[in-house]
């Protein structure tokens, strides 16, 4: 009789361990967070640029990217597509793609930035932001970015 109770208590211990394991979160999931940045950039060639700024989750950052410009139905407006790599204060990289428009008559830039991973804490980053900017003299650009990021 004692053997039956011993076997049942072992079975109960195993069952409790399984329930406890299944009830625990497997891995902390990424969290959607507000994202905001402002900065300046400088074209270093017809399609390449570098810049720097201050961003939530990155701190003081540097950036480098390349863009392609294609005509639209409006002769004053160019469609913009490209990639950007932001380097955070600690060296982690946030990778992004950008798609939008540049109004050549006004210098206004409006685009969507989509986060596509990176390194360090941004390895699985996702999310998107709205970028508004202004093209200035000599190929300078000032930008403001607002949206969300998930990492």
For the chain, percent of residues with pLDDT exceeding 90: 79
* Residue closest to 74 by CA, chosen among 45, 41, 98, 108: 108
Between residues 27 and 92, the one the model is more confident about: 92
**First CA to last CA distance, the chain:** 56
pLDDT for the residue numbered 137: 94
Rounded mean pLDDT of the chain? 87
Q: Is 2 exposed, middle or buried (0-12, 13-18, 19+ CB in 10 A)?
A: exposed
Whole-structure pTM value = 0.80
Residue 64 has pLDDT above 60, yes or no: yes
Q: What is the mean pLDDT of residues 95-118?
A: 98
pLDDT for the residue numbered 31: 86
Q: How far is the C-alpha of 36 from the C-alpha of 85, rounded, in Å?
A: 16
Give the dihedral of Cα atoms 43, 49, 50, 54; nearest 10 deg. 90
């Amino acid at each position: 009789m004692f053997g039956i109770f011993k076997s049942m208590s072992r079975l109960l211990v195993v069952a409790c361990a399984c329930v406890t394991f299944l009830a625990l979160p497997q891995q902390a999931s990424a969290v959607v967070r507000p994202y905001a940045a402002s900065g300046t950039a400088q074209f270093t060639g017809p399609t390449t640029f570098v810049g720097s700024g201050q961003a939530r989750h990155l701190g003081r950052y540097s950036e480098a990217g390349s863009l392609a410009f294609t005509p639209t139905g409006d002769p004053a407006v160019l469609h913009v597509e490209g990639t950007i790599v932001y380097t955070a204060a600690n060296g982690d990289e946030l990778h992004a793609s950008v798609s939008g428009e540049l109004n050549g008559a006004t210098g206004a830039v409006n685009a969507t930035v989509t986060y596509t991973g990176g390194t360090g804490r941004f390895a699985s980053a996702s999310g998107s932001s709205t970028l508004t900017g202004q093209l200035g003299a000599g190929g300078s650009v000032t930008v403001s970015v607002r949206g969300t990021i998930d990492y």
